[in-house]
C-alpha cells in the first residue's frame, strides 16, 4: 500500500459516522489510502462493496484492518499490519469507534468500566500503538471523536431543546426513568457515556502535549447530534428528536482532515465553533 497518497485509518468504519467519514473521503478529489478499522473485517468488506457500488469512480482506494478496541492483541496486530502495508507511515488516525455499553453489563460499575474501556482506554491504546507511524508522516493528524454531551460547562444549561432534554432532572423516586429522551439509554448508560467522552477530551489534550514537538495536529471532534445506531435507539427515533443526517458529520471530519480547522488544533471543535470544556 505504500504510496504518495495520504494514508487514513478510520476506526468503527463500517457503520454510522465512521462509514460516513470514509464515504466523504472517498468522494473527495484528494487521493487517499483509506483503511477501514473494523472489529469484524467482513463488515468492513461489505461496507467497501457498498461504497464502490454507490461511487464506482474515486481517486482513493479502500482496504480493511481488524481493530477491536477491547483487545490489546488486536491493536498490536493492527499496528504491525499497517506498518508493513504502508511503509511505516500513517498520515491520519481517526479514533471514531466507541459507543454505549450495550445490554451486556448489568451493574453500574460494569456499565461505566466497559464504556470507559471502549471510548477512552481503547482509543488511547490504539494511538499509542500507531504513534510511531504518525510521527513518520510529513503532516500527521490525530482525531478523537467526542460528543457534544461531554462539555462540563454545558451541564448547567437548559436554554436549547437538546440541552434541556439531556440535562433535565428526573422526578423524585427510584428507580429513575430513561434519561434524555433516548429510549433504553438509562441513567447509568448516559452518565457513563458522558463521563467517558469528557475523559477522552483530556486524553486528546495530553496527546496534543506529547506529540507537539513532532508536528502532529490533534483534535477532539464533536460532530453534533447525529442519527446513528448509537445506543440502539434507531435512526428514525433520533431524527424525531432533532438528530441530523450522519453524512453531515462525515463531511465535517473530512474538512478537519483536509486542513480547514488547523487554527483550532488542540481543542474540542464543533462544525461551527469551538466546544467549551
What is the pTM assigned to this prediction?
0.92
Residue 142 lies in a domain: yes
Angle, helices 16-27 vs 41-54, to 10°: value is 40
How far, CA to CA in Å, does 25 sit from each of 49, 56, 85, 184, 253?
A: 16, 14, 20, 33, 9
Q: Is 28 a catalytic residue?
A: no
156-186 tens-digit pLDDT: 999 988 888 889 888 899 877 655 544 444 6
Q: What is the pLDDT of residue 130?
A: 98
Q: Which CATH number does the domain housing residue 49 bear?
A: 3.40.50.720
54-104 tens-digit pLDDT: 999 999 999 999 999 999 999 999 999 999 999 999 999 999 999 887 656
Strands of the sheet containing 61-66, edge to edge, are 61-66, 32-38, 6-11, 92-95, 141-145, 217-221, 268-270, 273-274
pLDDT of residue 208 exceeding 70:
yes
Residue 169 lies in a domain: no
Active-site entry in 6, 197, 217, 222: 197
Residue 254 lies in a domain: yes
Residue 180 lies in a domain: no
Q: Is 193 a catalytic residue?
A: yes
Phi and psi for 92 in degrees, rounded to 5? -140, 130
Structural domain that includes position 235 = 6-152+194-274
pLDDT of residue 138 exceeding 90:
yes
Q: What is the pLDDT of residue 229?
A: 66
Residue 176 lies in a domain: no
Residue 148 lies in a domain: yes
Tell me the pLDDT of the chain averaged across its residues. Answer: 91
Helix count and strand count (H, E) for the chain: 9, 8
Q: Is 32 a catalytic residue?
A: no
| pLDDT more than 90, % of the chain | 75
Active-site entry in 19, 26, 32, 193: 193
Active-site entry in 147, 150, 217, 222: 147
Give me the number of domains the chain comprises.
1
Residue 93 lies in a domain: yes
Region of residue 224 (phi > 0: left; psi between -120 and 50: alpha; otherwise: beta) = left
Residue 125 lies in a domain: yes
Which comes out higher in pLDDT, residue 235 or 218? 218
Amino acid at each position: 500500500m505504500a504510496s504518495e497518497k495520504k494514508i487514513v485509518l478510520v476506526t468503527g468504519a463500517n457503520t454510522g459516522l465512521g462509514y460516513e467519514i470514509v464515504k466523504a473521503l472517498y468522494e473527495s478529489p484528494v487521493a487517499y489510502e483509506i483503511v477501514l478499522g473494523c472489529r469484524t473485517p467482513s463488515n468492513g468488506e461489505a461496507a467497501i462493496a457498498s461504497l464502490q457500488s454507490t461511487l464506482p469512480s474515486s481517486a482513493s482506494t479502500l482496504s480493511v484492518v481488524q481493530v477491536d478496541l477491547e483487545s490489546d492483541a488486536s491493536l498490536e496486530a493492527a499496528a504491525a499490519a499497517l506498518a508493513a502495508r504502508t511503509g511505516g507511515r500513517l498520515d491520519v488516525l481517526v479514533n471514531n469507534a466507541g459507543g454505549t455499553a450495550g445490554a451486556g453489563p448489568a451493574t453500574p460499575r460494569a456499565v461505566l468500566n466497559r464504556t470507559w474501556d471502549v471510548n477512552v482506554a481503547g482509543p488511547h491504546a490504539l494511538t499509542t500503538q500507531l504513534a510511531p507511524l504518525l510521527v513518520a508522516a510529513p503532516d500527521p493528524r490525530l482525531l478523537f471523536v467526542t460528543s457534544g454531551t461531554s462539555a462540563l460547562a454545558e451541564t448547567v444549561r437548559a436554554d436549547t431543546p437538546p440541552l434541556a432534554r439531556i440535562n433535565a432532572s428526573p422526578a423524585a423516586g427510584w428507580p429513575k426513568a430513561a434519561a434524555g429522551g433516548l429510549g433504553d439509554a438509562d441513567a447509568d448508560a448516559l452518565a457513563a457515556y458522558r463521563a467517558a467522552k469528557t475523559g477522552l477530551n483530556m486524553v486528546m489534550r495530553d496527546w496534543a502535549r506529547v506529540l507537539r514537538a513532532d508536528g502532529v495536529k490533534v483534535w477532539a471532534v464533536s460532530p453534533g447530534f447525529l442519527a446513528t445506531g448509537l445506543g440502539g435507539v434507531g435512526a428514525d427515533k433520533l431524527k424525531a428528536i432533532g438528530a441530523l443526517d450522519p453524512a453531515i458529520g462525515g463531511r465535517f471530519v473530512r474538512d478537519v482532515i483536509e486542513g480547514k480547522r488547523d487554527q483550532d488544533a488542540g481543542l474540542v471543535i464543533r462544525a461551527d465553533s469551538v466546544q467549551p470544556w
